Chain A
């Protein structure tokens, strides 16, 4: 593994931790959705970095490219749906604070 790739992997790991932290700590529903997006980007970065490692000729190997492109589309769908739910929640409560929302028991 070249030095360059491991830098990318480290960056992906840091992004992943940041995303998880964002989901766990942030109280604003939109920020939680952003956290999910950061997580997604971290995983995509990891995939692309490992793909470039594997391919001697292409910039990134074809399999990694196709997985990441499909995953980006799925992530867009998820983000859309999550924001729709945020809009609906805002209609019910007139707030985006997740603490106000927790009428559900754990």
Chain B
């Protein structure tokens, strides 16, 4: 029971409201960058509060912190529930947000309406953290919509061009359909149990014991609803349009972290409210995961546009993350009764790997989109054929771009290798189960396939002879290179000392499966 639980969300929301004011003040005194520095400061302050909250959660005996209004306690009132999983996700969101804010300092300077840009960016991250901290469906829904509404506007930010408008409309319609689908599922859950609080819901569902068919429908509606934002195939079609159409900084945000919010919501709702011991949703998650990575891998190969290729590769990585959770849930459902220790170890390993991959993909894909923003800024084209050899002209950006590609390809000394290894190891720990072996082999095949085209992109961008458009490119300004180099350094450092993140991811995974 501490107000600190609210601080990360409140800081960002207040900063979002104050941004127009700061802009006006900055204009009055002739210092326009005030709003940029203000939002960077807001992200830094939020990072500090998340850190404090992390300490609070670690220090608490039960491993979580709760906040609710005095008069309206659970199971009816709004609850904020923070455990190590919420804190872990909040770290990722705010970290990438901070890097993006620093990058926007120079990248966005030619655009107009920047006060709105920063206000929306801050509100979007506030919404994401709110989803991570929500202890009930009501809260989750409100923050979810805060995040989505900001994201729609940010995709359409450069509204003088046709592409962002179309992409944003498509994103809006599909994503609203998704959120209404889970609101529909939510209303049924409310009708069955009379509450929207996750903990009370889990109890209520076990007591009410609805039929398998009802539960099947509800799980499907929830996975589909959140799956639209998480871009699970077949609900992914908005993503390859929306992510490239947005400004590069926003693409980094959308691909790096916003789709993870969808995954987080799937994790939280399924593991807490439905509990894998009672309902077998692991199989569904694995099937969706395999389908997602396979389809997106094939589509990624066909792309000529660098940002579309990166967008498809985001979908592939969502596939790994879902499969990781699926393996964990499957192990718990099918083996907890016969071999509880093995089931818990495998589930812990698989979910830890999936959460570690959330971090790696957020950092790696954020890095790649920011680099592609630099390339496009210089060469004025998104065509991969035109961008060949540009890495030679922009050594810092090019080198960081290669690090990003290698980490997502899973090349050993870099961080992406470890997370994939954990997911695959967890799968092979269940070698007696033929279905699990099949799934694991599919993951291995897909990651080798993905590694092949990452290396191909790297070869084109870094080692070919520069073409006319790439010839004139020069290194991006310092404040654009800084976040890129920092993110690349994070990939290398975490690759060499994976323990840094594994500890956080491990406690987050155990908070999810409870023990």
Number of interface residues of B (CB under 8 A): 35
A24 to chain B, nearest CB (A): 10
The reply to whether B138 and A88 form a contact with Cβ atoms under 8 Å apart is no
Known: A36-B173, A77-B149, A78-B172. A63 touches B183 (CB 8 A): no
B381 in contact (CB, < 8 A): no
The reply to whether B138 and A104 form a contact with Cβ atoms under 8 Å apart is no
Tell me the complex Cα distance, A23–B167, Å. Answer: 16
Q: Which residues of chain A are near B441, meaning CB under 8 Å?
A: none
Q: Assign chain A's interface to a size class.
A: 35 or more
Known: A36-B177, A82-B173, A101-B166. A67 touches B191 (CB 8 A): no
A54 in contact (CB, < 8 A): yes
Q: Which residues of chain B are near A47, meaning CB under 8 Å?
A: 183, 187, 190
Of all chain B residues, which has the CB nearest A50? B191
Contact count A vs B, C-beta below 8 Å = 98
Q: Which residues of chain A are near B156, meaning CB under 8 Å?
A: 85, 88
The reply to whether B241 and A104 form a contact with Cβ atoms under 8 Å apart is yes
Q: Which residues of chain A are near B159, meaning CB under 8 Å?
A: 88
Tell me the complex Cα distance, A9–B233, Å. Answer: 30
A95 in contact (CB, < 8 A): no
Provide 30 A-B residue pairs closer than 8 Å at the C-beta atoms, listed in order of the A residue: A29-B169, A39-B176, A39-B177, A43-B187, A46-B187, A50-B190, A54-B190, A54-B194, A61-B194, A63-B76, A63-B138, A63-B195, A64-B190, A66-B138, A67-B196, A71-B183, A74-B142, A74-B145, A78-B145, A78-B176, A85-B156, A85-B165, A85-B168, A85-B172, A88-B159, A89-B165, A101-B166, A103-B163, A103-B166, A104-B170
Taking A36-B176, A103-B163, A105-B240 as given, write out 8 further A-B residue pairs in contact, using a Cβ cutoff of 8 Å, ordered by the A residue number. Answer: A23-B173, A32-B173, A39-B180, A43-B187, A47-B187, A63-B195, A85-B156, A89-B166
Please give the residue numbers on chain A whose beta carbons come within 8 Å of chain B beta carbons, in ascending order.
16, 20, 23, 29, 32, 36, 39-40, 42-43, 46-47, 50-51, 53-54, 61-64, 66-67, 70-71, 74, 77-78, 81-82, 85-86, 88-89, 92-93, 101-106
Please give the residue numbers on chain B whose beta carbons come within 8 Å of chain A beta carbons, in ascending order.
76, 138, 141-142, 145, 149, 152-153, 156, 159, 162-163, 165-170, 172-173, 176-177, 180, 183-184, 187-188, 190-191, 194-196, 237, 240-241
